[in-house]
Copies of this chain bind each other. A is one copy, B any other.
Amino acid sequence: MDKVNLAEKLDTFSEHWSPRIVGSYNGNDIMVVKAEGEFTWHSHPETDDFFLVLKGEIDIELRDQTVTLGPGEIFVVPKGVEHRPVARCEAHLMIIEPAGTPNTGDPETAVTKVTI
């Protein structure tokens, strides 16, 4: 049972849109991710999607609005709602999803989430 320093974990990799698992909570993966540029439009039919910005700024584009998040701000995309994260400059996030959730909403295109 160790604590996790999120910034230290983020310092260990540089890839964008490639979540790293840093902890577990009731079957959910706690992850950090570096975002830059446009991710793909997707939704998660079975789960909400939790975002906390640690550094930088990210737009969570929804079909009818865009939610811009800065450090210390959270947003939960409800299950089934289409969204596209877009970061004009590199942003660092903590995200939470049930273990095994494909980050693109589609197992075919999802990245493998590595534990660090």
Q: Which residues of A contact B (CB under 8 A)?
A: 1-7, 22-26, 28, 30, 47-48, 50, 52, 54, 62, 65, 67-69, 72-79, 81, 94, 96, 98
Q: Which of B23, B62, B79 contacts A1 (CB 8 A)?
A: B62
Contact B73 A24 (CB under 8 A): no
Q: Which of A26, A30, A68 has the most CB of B within 10 A?
A: A26
Please report the C-alpha to C-alpha distance between residue A96 and residue B24 in the assembled complex, in whole angstroms. 12
Beta-carbon contact of A4 and B75 below 8 Å: yes
Task: Looking at the assembled complex, report how far the CB atom of A44 sits from the nearest CB atom of chain B, in whole angstroms.
Answer: 10
Given the known interface contacts A1-B78, A62-B1, A67-B1, the answer about A25 and B96 at a Cβ–Cβ threshold of 8 Å is: yes
Known: A25-B50, A62-B1. A7 touches B72 (CB 8 A): yes
Choose one: B6, B30, B72, B81; the contact of A73 (CB below 8 Å).
Answer: B6
Structural contact, B73 and A3, CB atoms closer than 8 A: yes
For this complex, 10 residue pairs linking A to B, each with C-beta atoms less than 8 Å apart, are A1-B67, A2-B75, A3-B75, A5-B73, A23-B76, A26-B28, A26-B48, A26-B79, A30-B74, A74-B94
